[in-house]
Amino acid sequence: MDQRDKLYIDGAWVPSTGSGTIEVVESATEEVFGSIPEGTEEDIDKAVRAARAAFDDWAQRPAEERAKFLTRISEGLAARMDEIATVVTREVGMPKSLSLMIQAGLPMMTFKSTADIVSGYQFEEEIGNSLVVKEPVGVVGAITPWNYPLHQIAAKVAPALAAGCTVVLKPSEVAPFSAFILAEIIDDVGLPPGVFNMVTGYGPVVGEAIAAHPDVDMVSFTGSTRAGKRVSEVAAQTVKRVALELGGKSPNIILEDADLERAVTDGVGKCYLNQGQTCIALTRMIVPRSKLAEVEEIAVRAAESYTPGDPFAEGTRLGPLASAAQRDRVRDYIQKGIEEGAKLLTGGPEAPEGLEKGFYVKPTVFSEVRNDMTIAQEEIFGPVLSIIPYDDEEEAVRIANDTIYGLSGGVWSGDVERAKAIARRIRTGQIEVNGGAFNPNAPFGGYKQSGHGREYGVYGFEEFLEIKSMQL
């Protein structure tokens, strides 16, 4: 049992002002394996006051000094990669081998790459008789999700600290333990008290307190579009800056000249990564009607290779979902797809055979999906692929853009220039061309109701800067 009974505020581990605790459940066994404090509005106020008091000194330190702290945090994460991967696998269900690379590896890289960015960044430029100065935005409230818990924390905390901001973090109560590891590392490297603070708890209490607090200058939130709207509403009362990374229903257009075997197999994998618990999952595969039968055959073969199982077992490609609520939600969507007339090719709403315990869902593929069906419009966050046929290129683009979301997407073609031309027409913040790899240094964020603002690389760093003009 991993029982945490303290929050990290003002450079020290302190008890919550409340007495509640939150149990953390292992996704593969449904058993409680730890607990964390149920933080309060008063805890947030203490953390924000500490961050405000620490801001002036931290903001005025040389960028190179801040970069050295980030590098040391990266080294601390590297030393605890296996521990981080293990706890995230227990919480979220991602197979351990993938967790090592993604859940533990990416946060370590983010702290290191952000150190490199700030070390060489030009904070001043002259425009005519003006000196334009870029300064830290202030106290940042970071509210992060459970699906990539430490990765999403790093995407906010690293650039905020690098910019000279101080931080109050609220990690997800579903997958909190990697945040405690980060706080321990930050404490070990000697970051000044109040620069980083962490309060665990529920969104409607702790999250709302962050968004509402008058001394928080910016809120950076990753989560559902519904929750993001609420953060914006609350934050608007104090006119603070808000960065949102929200949901997605990403299209994957396969043109008729594409290598179908490669494109479909890759598309199934991009839909099923982290059991589909990925905001950029390519969940809508948009394919030529003339190739539908061939696409279906390849998709079923690929999907059925993702056998669900123990995420710590060798060879497991699909672990459990993160919670009972998420499992039930995904199974309800699968049932809805059947009821609305989509063609079920493989999978279904029942528990996988032999896996009645644990939050498992069968890898599922629907075909002959219409874009007005629920499973084509709403974010499912599970291993569920919708194959949608089209008759011509214009219809494919129209289907791709027919959604409230605009987070990610993909285009496949035998002609890379043709694929790029189609990609330019998709209203989305990032898009893969012929399976292009995720780039953690490129800007990441969405159009439409997928949010606003960008994370990662220089663009993500600049989200945490204010701009001042000095007229000389």
pLDDT tens, residue by residue, 34-74: 999 999 999 999 999 999 999 999 999 999 999 999 999 99
For residue 89, give both structure tokens: 């696998």
Q: Are 390 and 371 in contact (CB under 8 A)?
A: no
Q: What is the set of domains in the chain, with CATH numbers?
A: 2-246+449-471 (3.40.605.10), 251-438 (3.40.309.10)
Contact 275, 93 (CB under 8 A): yes
**Per-residue exposure over 26-42, b if at least 16 CB sit within 10 Å of its own CB, e if not:** bbbeeeebbbbbbbbbe
Evaluate whether 153 touches 142 at the Cβ level (below 8 Å): yes
Which positions ≥6 away from 181 have C-beta within 8 Å? Answer: 77, 80, 83, 84, 87, 150
The answer to whether residue 124 is catalytic is: no
Answer whether residue 1 shows pLDDT above 90.
no
% of the chain surpassing 70 pLDDT:
100
Rounded CA gap, 68 and 59, in Å?
15
Q: Strand 124-127's sheet: what is its strand order?
A: 124-127, 130-136, 465-471
In the residue annotation, 462 being an active-site residue is answered as no
Tokens representing residue 268 in the block: 């199934």
Q: What is the pLDDT of residue 322?
A: 97
Annotated active-site residue in 26, 38, 279, 432: 279
Please enumerate in sequence order all residues whose Cβ is within 8 A of that of 146, keeping only pairs 6 or more positions apart, or say none: 91, 92, 172, 174, 175, 322
Note the pLDDT tens digit of each residue in 126-145.
999 999 999 999 999 999 99
Q: Which of 38, 91, 245, 296 is catalytic?
A: 245
Q: Is the pLDDT of residue 253 over 90?
A: yes
